Amino acid sequence: MLVIGSIMLQRTLVLGTRSEASATGVRQGQLTGRAAAAVIRVDDAWVRQDRGVLVMTVCTGNICRSAMAEVVLRERLQAAGLDEQVEVCSRGVSDEEEGNPIDRRARTVLRAHGYGGGEGHVARQVTASELPGCDLVLAMTAAHARAVRRLARGADVPVVMYRSFDPSAPQVSERDEHRLDIADPWYGGPRDFETCLCELEAAADQVVEQIRQMLGDAKR
């Protein structure tokens, strides 16, 4: 298991580019609930001014792994009573699925295990402008982690492997991060999506505990 340690939270968190604001509701990846009242528009980005934590999950196209991780983490955070203080969004390093919904097979396995099916999800490519606002970026593979670190261009953005929070996963150096890769289920069938969800769930509780620690550090 990986422990990041004390992380200084920013007061202003950039949530990513949006073309339109909705007065009646928001899609996944945007602020929800009480936090929505604190959103303003600055230079084509959604910005929240309240104090909180922004977590981003990242995979290739943002229709399978990262989208499933977003759903799992949102529900775990809600169960922990932290959903009003934490925003979770997901992105892809590629634009190949831009604008598409969550993969139907991912939706099926999520619903089969009692989660929401990612309704309203719209795949988006991660951009350099939104990374400085992230308090924690969770990569599905080492290749995704490298891509996000390059995009961050030296900004102080914690980019870590999602599975590094799995207590049963091996402890590895950055050079060996590939040992923590979550395989892309897109190329497989239902069993591959089941395996993906199991790996996401195995790390989810420790991700929540890390976020709880980050929120505690921010109050000191």
Query: Domain 13-219 adopts which CATH fold?
Result: Rossmann fold (3.40.50)
Nearest to 126 by CA among 85, 159, 77: 159
SS3 of residue 17 by DSSP: coil
Q: What is the pLDDT of residue 20?
A: 28
Instruction: Report yes or no: 116 and 75 within 8 Å, Cβ to Cβ.
Output: yes
Band of the pLDDT at 65, cuts 50, 70, 90?
A: very high
Q: Which residues pair with 92 in a beta bridge?
A: 59, 125
Tell me: pLDDT of 71 over 80: yes
17-26, 31-40, 155-164, 174-183: least confident range: 17-26
Q: What is the pLDDT of residue 17?
A: 31
More confident residue, 15 or 108: 108
Residues 149-165 have a mean pLDDT of 94
Tell me: pLDDT of 35 over 60: no
Category of 19 on φ-ψ map: left (φ > 0), alpha (ψ -120 to 50) or beta:
alpha
Q: What is the pLDDT of residue 204?
A: 98
Q: In which order are the strands placed within the sheet that holds 45-48? A: 13-16, 45-48, 39-42
Catalytic residue numbers? 59, 65, 184
Which amino acid is located at 140 in the chain? M
Question: Which residues in 64-76 are b (16+ Cβ under 10 Å) and which e?
Answer: bbbbbbbbbbbbb
SS3 of residue 21 by DSSP: coil
Report residue 66 as tokens: 């990262």
Return the H-helix or E-strand segment holding 87. strand 86-92
Q: What is the pLDDT of residue 155?
A: 87
Residues 72-79 have a mean pLDDT of 98
Q: What is the pLDDT of residue 202?
A: 98
Band of the pLDDT at 141, cuts 50, 70, 90?
A: very high
Tell me: pLDDT of 172 over 60: yes
- Looking at every residue in the chain, the average pLDDT score rounds to 82
Q: What is the pLDDT of residue 105?
A: 98
Q: Where are the beta strands (DSSP E) in 1-61?
A: 13-16, 39-42, 45-48, 53-59
Distance between CA atoms of residues 137 and 160, nearest Å? 6
- Determine the longest span between alpha carbons in the chain, in angstroms: 47
